[in-house]
Amino acid sequence: MAKKLLEVKGLKKYFDVDKKQVLKAVDDVSFDIYEGETLGLVGESGCGKSTTGRTLIRLYGTTDGQVIFDGEDVHKMSGKKQKMFNRKVQMIFQDPYASLNPRMTVADIIAEGIDIHGIKSSKKRLDRVHELLETVGLNKEHATRFPHEFSGGQRQRIGIARALAVDPTFIIADEPISALDVSVQAQVVNLMKKLQKEQNLTYLFIAHDLAMVKHISDRIGVMYLGKMMELTESEKLYENPLHPYTQSLLSAIPIPDPDIEAKRERIILQGEVPSQINPPSGCVFRTRCPVATDICAEKKPEWKEVEEKHFVACHLY
Ligand code: SF4
């Protein structure tokens, strides 16, 4: 079995809205990520998936809980260990244009990472930039250009090259394909899969719908209102979703076969996503759950492994 690279234990990230109110963006979430795998993290906007990613990489501090990377507590690191963590763990963002400095050439953007390795020779530095551009499917001539000269898909490739420049082992990709045309999304996903194989990378791939994460994830976690609802292997999740929320998300994905599509039942969720400042008592999904019962309002469902490698938080199990 692969080694645990990252352990998230009871992670909480709350934000103060004012003196009296607290927004529970991530509320007691636990999961592991194994070396070389892709864990997809999905849920509607405001479910806490991006805050989880940003707390893992220390962009935010924790309110409670622990993040352990390679045996070390991420939020207690300092000095050399912190430097090493900053190199090994990289992030790719949703909007590649906003995350690339418009006044820097592509060579300088990518070389920022190379500089950490202390490569002094400008020839070696440029060779490495060219190598990285080729790795992500661009070419040498792109090195002297500026971000605005590229398409969205190419800019995401530049973002990936920048992340790879420091030889990371773990990449958090926060909705990396959501802003791209559908035709380009598959290209970026295929590139990420290829790089993962070649460089033994581990990914946390954050997306807002299950259709997007299907082709890249080994396992998928589904979040709702700051909590993890279900987590299991991708195939299991698609074939046998247990949580009513996962079932509703999957029923919204169109099936290409018109006969099957016409016959199948859609689960339309009623109502809006409740406020994270004042979440429902008991199960946070109960106000929209089509099969909720009295106990769902009274008691929080436990996060438990209901069958091998299949975790769910729901009173039905
Ligand atoms: Fe629905 Fe109750 Fe399960 Fe929550 S615990 S998902 S409300 S059945």
Question: Of the residues 243, 285, 299, 302, which should be mutated to test ligand 1's pocket, given the most ligand atoms within 8 Å of the CB?
Answer: 285
CB of 77 closer than 6 A to ligand 1? no
For atom 6 of ligand 1, the residue with the nearest CA is 314
CA of 313 to the centre of ligand 1 (A): 8
For atom 7 of ligand 1, the residue with the nearest CA is 286
| Helix spans in the chain (H) | 49-56, 79-88, 96-99, 106-116, 122-135, 152-164, 182-199, 210-213, 234-239, 244-251, 258-263, 294-298
Per-residue confidence at 177, pLDDT binned at 50, 70, 90?
Answer: confident
CB of 289 closer than 6 A to ligand 1? yes
CA of 184 to the centre of ligand 1 (A): 37
Provide the pLDDT for residue 1: 67
pLDDT in tens, 118-173: 666 778 888 889 999 999 989 999 999 999 999 888 998 999 999 998 889 999 99
Average pLDDT value for the chain: 90
**pTM for the full model?**
0.91
Percent of the chain with pLDDT over 90: 64
CB of 297 closer than 6 A to ligand 1? no
Provide the pLDDT for residue 42: 95
Residues 288, 265: Cα–Cα separation, whole Å: 17
CATH topology assigned to domain 4-241: Rossmann fold (3.40.50)
**What tokens were used for 276?**
């994270």
Q: Phi first, then psi: give them for residue 37, nearest 5 degrees.
A: -100, 170
Provide the pLDDT for residue 117: 64
pLDDT in tens, 289-309: 999 999 999 999 999 999 999
Query: Residue ranges per domain, the chain?
Result: 4-241
Residues 190, 208: Cα–Cα separation, whole Å: 19
232: enclosing H helix or E strand: strand 227-233
Ligand 1, residue 243: give the atom nearest the CA.
6
CA of 234 to the centre of ligand 1 (A): 22
